[in-house]
Every structure is written in C-alpha cells, then in structure tokens.
Structure 1
Amino acid sequence: MYIEKINGPEDVKKLSVEEMTQLAEEMRTALLTRASIHGGHFGPNFGMVEATIALHYVFSSPEDKIVYDVSHQTYPHKMLTGRKDAYLYEEHYDDVSGYSNPHESEHDHFTIGHTSTSVSLACGLAKARDLKHEKYNVIAVIGDGSLSGGEALEGLDYAAELNGNLIIIVNDNDMSIAENHGGLYQNLKLLRETKGQAECNLFKAMGLDYLYIDQGNDVASLIEGFKKVKDTKKAVVVHIRTQKGKGYLPAEKDKETWHYSGPFHMDTGKPLVEEVSEDYSDVTVKYLLDKMKKDPTVVAITSGTPTVLGFTADKRKEAGSQFVDVGIAEETAVALASGIAANGGKPIWGVYSSFVQRTYDQISQDLCINGNAATMVVYWGTVYGMNDVTHLGLYDIAMLSNIPNLVYLAPTTKEEYLAMLDWSMEQNEHPVAIRTPGSTMISDGKEVTKDFSKINTYEMTQKGSKAALIGLGTFYSLAKEVAAEIEAKTGTKATVINPYYITGIDQAMLEDLKKDHDVVVTLEDGILDGGFGEKITRFYGNSNVKVLNFGLKKEFLDRYNVEDVLKANHLTKDQIVADIISTL
C-alpha cells in the first residue's frame, strides 16, 4: 500500500501519476472504513481526494499555505500531512478533529468549522507575506456551497486588490449540503457546461484570472492545471469540477444524505442504529406543512441546512414556493424574514445555535429595531448538542437575550414548543426566537394554556419555601429532580419555576419570593456570563435573598464528554443539592 508510506507531502512528490491514482483508491478505502465505524463528513472528502493529492504534489506545504473552507474536505489533506494513522487504525480515529486544526499540524493554519471564510483568511496570509517581502504560494480551497456566503464574495471582491500571489480553488460538485440555490450557481453551471469558456464569468468580472479543470477527479489533469498557476503574480481562480461522494455508489446517488453520515453498514449504506424517536425537526416540519396548507403566507426559510427544520427533499417539494433556501447566508435569511414579516407574511427561520452568531447584526438591526414579527427556531443550543469547538451551542442565550425587542422563549416539552410556535406565527407584535430543548425530546401530553402574549410572566409549577429553583428550558427537569432530592433530604419543599422567557424577568413573581425564600437558584443550559441567571442575580442584588447561578463557564470546549463537563461546572443533581443545602 502507498498510503502507509506517506508520512508527509514530500512522499507524495516521489510518486508517479499511476501510483497517485492508486493512492487515491487506497485513501477512499480508508475513508470509507473509518466513516462506517466512526461517522463524519463523507461526500465532500470523497470528492476531494485527487485534488488534495495534486495540491501536495505541486505545492510545498507548509511553506505554501493551504487554507480549507469549512474543513468538510480536509480529511484527505490530513492523511497526507502526517496524520494517516487517524484514518487507517480504529484506535487512532479520535486523534484528530473533523476540522482544520493548527494544534494538530503545521500544515493547518486556522481552526475552521464555519463556512465562506477561506478566501478572506488566505487574503490575510498573502497580504502579510507581501508586507514581509516573502515568496510562497497561498491557496484557498472553497466548496460545498460556501460561495453563497457573503464573506466568500467579500473575499473574492478584495482578492484582486492584492496584486500578489493568491490561488483560489473552487471545488464545484454542483452541491451545497443540499442542492445549490441562487443566481451565482447558474453561472457556475454555465461555466461547467462550456468548460470554462462562457463569456459571462463571475470570477473574471471581479478582476480575477481564471482556469477551468473539467476532470477534477483526474490526478494528471489537476497537476497540469495547478502547475500553470503555481507562483502566479496575481489572484487566480482554479475552477475544478468534482463528484461529491465519488467512489461510493450510495453517496454518488444521494449526495445530500451522504454529506455527513453516522456509522453505517458498508455493504448497504444503512445506518448501524436506526433513528426511530421523534425530534424537534420532525415536529416542526409536520406543523409547518399543515400550517402552509391553511395559510399561503407562511414561509419556511433555511440558510443551507434544510433538514434543521425537517425539510428533506420530499418535504421541500411538498412545500413548494413556501420553502426558501437562501444558501449558506444567515444574514440574508434574517433580513428576508424581516422583509416578509413587514409585508404581511409569516416567516420562520430555522438555524443551529452555532450559526446564529453569523447574523447577530441583522437580528439586531434589520429585525429587532424594526420590530417585525418573524419567528426564529434555534436548534442544538445545548451542552447535549454538537461538541466540536467550532460548533458549540452554548452561547446563544447570552447573544440573543440582550437584544431589545426580541422575545426569546425556552420550552421544556414538545407541547410547550408547539404552543409557542403557534403563538409566535400568529402574533404581529414581536420578533420571536424559540430555543428547542437539548437531550431527548420530552412529551408529557399536557395541554398548554399559557398566554405567551403576557411577556415575561413565569409559571410556578410547585409552591414551596426557603429555596426556589428556576429551571430554564432543558434544565427545567433538572430543577424538578433537585427539588425532589432536597425535600427527601431536608423535608423542605422547594419552589419550582418554569420561566419560559429567556429575555426578561417576572418582577412580580421574583418580588413575591422574597417573603419566604432565602435562596433562589437558576439553572441554564449555556454560559453564565451575560446569560439568564445574571438577570435574576441583578434583581436580588440589594436584598437579603441569596442567588446561586448554575450553568457553564465561558470557554471553548472541544470534543467533550457531556458528563465530564456537567460535573466540572457543578451541574449534576447531587452537586446542586449539596450547594443549596450548604447555603440554606
């Protein structure tokens, strides 16, 4: 095997084209075996194998600097830069992250997990190089729909101004995570159809040189093309046509499903563990499709991740024009939603917590200052969600809860979520965000009679004394468990409160607690700094009531074990009970 002898890019340079072609097949076999056991980003990596081999054959990393966008296609790069064991041997599968990571290797220059960044980052590397009068190539690799993100276009716009070496590899597999959307991709399609000869050329229009490589999965063609642009004196786009999922038939046929996969049976492609339980995405799409049939002004919006709202390909077809994918462009999604709401429509935008930060300005400026009644549903905002350092869902409470005019809601059950969703889409006074709970979805079958238009009114679900537990969203059930344990150990029946509202406080209820409570405890599934608990603490600042805030400390966690993090942050039931009893 060739792959076993590749300890760095210098070993790739020793191979012939025929040997590199064999190396590509070995790399795909390793990627397939690892993915079937471990899971990970699948299609993007399978499509980039030959291009990665050719890059390391022509260029000299790490002196020549390669920056990968999103990092969905970095696995082959890692295999050729001293990290092959993490793809060949199961005991080493967790030695590397799923993303570009300079802590792993000098061949990675940034920790990157979010989209559309590579061109701008590469521009920065190139600018610093030129200021220091150094000579080497800077290469940005961008693909899987990332060109639809605003920062990618901003980077391309600036690239021509560099007047120095910059090579932008546009990995065009005619896909984003799902299908491509937008006029930009019509031009890419035209360029593919004319093999790069069309007079209408986005990249040339932006002042960039341009080279098209039709056989983006052929090592020889790629090497020839990359050699043409090596040591270029200006910015150039190399547009390569690749096949997402190449080499594994199920992934070639169903590119969307195989963008990312969990462990699966290699011979059939079926998941090792079938997902049978209903989740909030399933609940949402069922609700919205029914709502759309009754009301033609309802529109669901996604920014490149349609299944976050449950809209698989068949559901998108059913929704028709009432479903909109703006591409990987969260800023446009929020502004679009604000515009639809301003003109009498009922927009709902679904987004992962980790991606909300990309559009903080639009939520504040375009939506909340204008007070337009759009609905945002925030998924995986929880310690139980994605756990890569670039995809943490721990910061949205602090980010969103301090924007004026926004009502941020935290349901604790499926029934509460649907009630909030229905209220939000029917009211016309507030921009509303709803944070779906983490962990397993709870459905208690209880009818929700709460009037959510009475903003910042909490619900006391158990009346007690001495200690009051305010459990926000995911951690409401933890509050109930703690209360039960306190009563069992001390005989004291604690008050339990479901606050519902992340963005405000129920002053009347909090004031009333002063009469017969010594301690108020807040529990939140996010960072404490700037979070929900601090609002409660400020309220009691000049009183004799003590406040204990339980949540997560502000830090960048990476590939963590949930139980370890909860314990480190004193978020286990036993720790919380001990702290409360000690304070009492």
Structure 2
Amino acid sequence: MSILDRVSGPEVLKGLSREELRQLAEDLRAEIIATVSRTGGHLASSLGVIELTIALHRVLNSPTDKIVWDVGHQAYAHKLLTGRRDRFPTLRQLDGLSGFPKRAESPHDCFDVGHSSTSISAALGMAAARDRRGGDEKIVAVIGDGSMTAGLAYEGLNQAGHLKKNLVVILNDNEMSISPNVGALSSFLSRKMTSDFFVRLKKEGKQLLGAMPGIGKDLLQLASRAEHSLKGFFTPGMLFEAFGFDYFGPIDGHDLDKLLETLNNVVRLEGPVLVHVVTRKGQGYAPAEQKPSTYHGVGPFDPETGEVIAGKGGAASYTGVFGRTLCEMAEQDERLVAITAAMAEGTGLRAFAERYPDRFFDVGIAEQHAVTFAGGLAAFGLKPVVAIYSTFLQRAYD
C-alpha cells in the first residue's frame, strides 16, 4: 500500500513522518502524471507545487482554514489530498472532476477560480469577513509569479497592507522572474526571522529602545534602518514590505523541512505576511522540467517518453491560420504590430514573435493595459492587433 492509499483527507498528513511525507510527494507525482497522460491537463504547474501543497495541508486544518489557489490549474495535488482520489481519473471529463478548484465540488475548495491574479483580493475579503464575525480561521493565498504581472494582484497587496488583517500570501516563483535566490544565508535568515523567539525579540527590543529617554526615538530609527538594510541586502522582499507585508524568503519550495518550519511559524504571526517560495515547473518529471511550456496545458501523452500523442489530422486550426495571415500582412505593412497578454502560443502569435520580435509585445497578464497600450500605438499611426482569449477580454471592456 502506498502512502497516498492511506490519505482519505488532509487530516491524515498530521500523523505522517517526514519520510512518509516525502514518499507521499512521489506518490502524488506518479498519480498526477499517470492521470494527465490520459486526460490531458495542466501538468507542469501541478508537479511544481506538490511539496508546498503537502506542507500547507500538514500545517493548516482544511476546510476550516482556507487555501485560495490563484488560477487553480496547480491544484491537482490539493484535490488528491482532499478526498477526491477516487474521482481523479475523471479529471476534466464530462461530469468528472473540474480542472480547477470548485466550491460545489468540495468544501476544501473555498473559492471558484480560473482567472489569474484574483487570489490575494479574494483571500483578503475572507480575512475581513472572518474578523467581522469574530472567527479565527487561517487564510492563505497561493499566487504564481506570472500572476504577479497583473495590476489586480497589487491592488490586493495594497489594500491588505492597509487593513493589516492576518493573512498569508505565498508567492510561488517558478520562473525566477521576480528575483534570483541569493543563497543559503537568505534562506536561513528567512526561516529564523519567522521564529517566535525572533518575533518576540524584535517587538520587545523596539519597545525597549523607544522607552529610552532622550535618545529612544533616534535609536529606534537606526535599528529599523539596520534591519531593512540587512534584509534588503540578502532578500528581494523590499517591494512587498513597502506594501506593509512582512516578507520571508526565498525558500526552496521542494524542501519539505524548510517549508514546514517556515509555514508553522508564519501562520502564527500578526498582520499580512508574504512567503516567497522558489519552485520548478514540472519538478520530478524530466520532459516537463525540460519543456515546461509544452506541459503547461498538455493533451494526452506517453508517460514513459513524454511524447505528446498527436490527434487526428484535419483542417488547419483557427489560431494557426490567424498567425500565418498576420505574418503575411506584416510583411506588406510595416506599421502592423501584435500584442498578447502572456498567451503567445495560445493566440497563434508565436511565429509572429519570432519573425518580427521588434513588432511584438507581450505585456504579461495585463489585458486592460494591453488594450489601452494598443490605443496609444494607434494614436501614433501604428496598426496594433491585440490577440486575447474572449474570457480574459472581459477585464478590458472599459
């Protein structure tokens, strides 16, 4: 019997040893790869957060405590750990499990998701409602670095820093696009700075310095600058601290011991906290590690070789025709430029980007900016073509 066979719900994780938790991670990877190879789905992202998912469910008490997954395509391990393993073979099938968290599917799914960058705002709303009714639930938002390219994420950070609610935001940095891991000392400092001793020492030290007659205020300012200088030198979190968050990281997102130590500490802290976790898309499955974009959203594939199973031949796809036609038009008109919101592959613009890199703009997950940016380009005589999925264009109507 595998460790996963014993997991009927997340409460079981609290009785497992560290070695059993590590074996559970391997069981989850095998189960996800086997299933997605048949059904298709979001593989690379799900494989990258397995240790993080285990650590969250070990530390928290779901469904009382809440985990808000941004976008939600990385929540396959979450589904397997929350009593849905028997239905997992029906993933993304008619009348089967949804590919995303869904409130109607499980009490462990606290918020319906699918769009990017909504998790911080949703989690903050839950925290505000919790405090209004006198609850004590722990609330955690898990957001990827890609989702941090959208303005909505920063609107949520800004309000969270202002309201000072007890809230944990986990930044899942799987592209190293925000900052590099600056070494073992940074990881050590981040884990130790979350400990009860350090937090109490910092609080009582500030009280002591502030109480010194005459020079207390100056000493307090000096100590604060020293703390920020030390953390700023070793960690990339000054942006988040400017929003009013306590920042801890970067933490190796595949090291269960470090994750458990850090999460056990931060869930007890007062106010908004951001934990920066560095992961690797496709972790544990070589084809997905080597080509994470191919296995971001993938159809059926051979799990042994990783080779995607080709569909039956047929008419050319709409996106393929669109991409080729746009390249032909661009050859005739040098004023034509193309814009995408982090979806070059899905919108058929990859060939255009490779052929005309100086006329192609990927603005990240920022549909409102994409459309308004195009307006500015058009106002100065260019011919912008904005390619956005219809469901994501809802954000840009105004």
The TM-score bracket by the shorter chain reads 0.7 to 0.9
Letter in 2 for 1:9: P
Note the alpha carbon deviations across 1:203-240, whole angstroms, 9 max, x for none.
11211110114310111111011012012210010010
Does the CA contact (< 8 Å) of 1:148 and 1:328 recur in 2?
yes
Return the offset for 1:87.
2.8
| SS at structure 2 position matched to 1:344 | coil
Q: Which residue of 2 aligns with 1:235?
A: 272
Note the alpha carbon deviations across 1:521-547, whole angstroms, 9 max, x for none.
xxxxxxxxxxxxxxxxxxxxxxxxxxx
Return the offset for 1:92.
9.2
Q: Which residue of 2 aligns with 1:13?
A: 14
Q: Which residue of 1 aligns with 2:292?
A: 255
Does the CA contact (< 8 Å) of 2:88 and 2:97 recur in 1?
no
Q: Does 1:55 align with 2:46?
A: no
Q: Which of 169, 179, 187 matches 1:189? A: 179
Q: Which of 313, 318, 333 matches 1:280? A: 318
Return the offset for 1:193.
3.6
What's the TM-score once normalised by structure 1's chain length?
Answer: 0.57
Return the offset for 1:93.
9.3
Query: Greater CA deviation, 17-26 or 317-326?
Result: 317-326
Q: Which residue of 1 aligns with 2:225?
A: none
Structure 2 gaps of 5+ residues are: 188-233
Give the Cα–Cα distance (whole angstroms) in 2 for the partners of residues 330 and 89 of structure 1: 32
| SS at structure 2 position matched to 1:202 | helix
Q: Which residue of 2 aligns with 1:109?
A: 110
Q: Which residue of 1 aligns with 2:80?
A: 79
What's the TM-score once normalised by structure 2's chain length?
Answer: 0.83
The 5 A counterparts of 1:512-531 are none
Letter in 2 for 1:330: E
The 5 A counterparts of 1:32-71 are 32-71=33-72
Query: Greater CA deviation, 303-312 or 271-280?
Result: 271-280
Q: Which of 369, 384, 388 matches 1:351? A: 388
Q: Which residue of 2 aligns with 1:172?
A: 173
Give the Cα–Cα distance (whole angstroms) in 1 for the partners of residues 151 and 26 of structure 2: 35
Return the offset for 1:66.
0.7
The 5 A counterparts of 1:255-334 are 255-274=292-311, 276=313, 277-312=315-350, 315-334=352-371
Give the Cα–Cα distance (whole angstroms) in 1 for the partners of residues 92 and 113 of structure 2: 25
- Which of these two proteins has the greater Rg computed from alpha carbons? 1
Return the offset for 1:94.
5.6
Give the Cα–Cα distance (whole angstroms) in 1 for the partners of residues 13 and 173 of structure 2: 24
Note the alpha carbon deviations across 1:347-382, whole angstroms, 9 max, x for none.
001111211211111xxxxxxxxxxxxxxxxxxxxx
Does the CA contact (< 8 Å) of 1:27 and 1:49 recur in 2?
yes
The 5 A counterparts of 1:126-145 are 126-143=127-144, 145=146
Return the offset for 1:3.
0.6
Does the CA contact (< 8 Å) of 2:44 and 2:292 recur in 1?
yes
Letter in 2 for 1:224: E
Give the Cα–Cα distance (whole angstroms) in 2 for the partners of residues 326 and 40 of structure 1: 25
Change (3 A) 1:4 1:95: farther
Q: Which residue of 1 aligns with 2:379?
A: 342
Higher helix fraction (1 or 2): 2
The count of corresponding residues between Structure 1 and Structure 2 is 348
Higher relative contact order, structure no. (Cα contacts within 8 Å, ≥ 6 residues apart): 2
| SS at structure 2 position matched to 1:171 | strand
The 5 A counterparts of 1:209-228 are 209-228=246-265
Higher strand fraction (1 or 2): 1
The 5 A counterparts of 1:399-478 are none
Change (3 A) 1:14 1:94: farther
Change (3 A) 1:57 1:200: closer
Return the offset for 1:317.
2.7
Give the Cα–Cα distance (whole angstroms) in 2 for the partners of residues 275 and 289 of structure 1: 26
Letter in 2 for 1:37: R
Q: Does 1:124 align with 2:155?
A: no
Note the alpha carbon deviations across 1:69-115, whole angstroms, 9 max, x for none.
11011111111111112236899996310111111111111111111
Change (3 A) 1:230 1:198: closer
Does the CA contact (< 8 Å) of 1:42 and 1:260 recur in 2?
yes
- Identical aligned residues as a percent: 42
| SS at structure 2 position matched to 1:126 | helix
Query: Greater CA deviation, 323-332 or 142-151?
Result: 142-151
Note the alpha carbon deviations across 1:411-437, whole angstroms, 9 max, x for none.
xxxxxxxxxxxxxxxxxxxxxxxxxxx
Return the offset for 1:306.
0.8
Does the CA contact (< 8 Å) of 2:335 and 2:382 recur in 1?
yes
Letter in 1 for 2:271: K
The 5 A counterparts of 1:481-492 are none
Note the alpha carbon deviations across 1:133-184, whole angstroms, 9 max, x for none.
2212110011151111121111011111222210001111017xxxxxxxxx
Does the CA contact (< 8 Å) of 1:55 and 1:226 recur in 2?
yes
RMSD of equivalent CA atoms: 2.1
Give the Cα–Cα distance (whole angstroms) in 2 for the partners of residues 160 and 48 of structure 1: 26
The 5 A counterparts of 1:488-507 are none
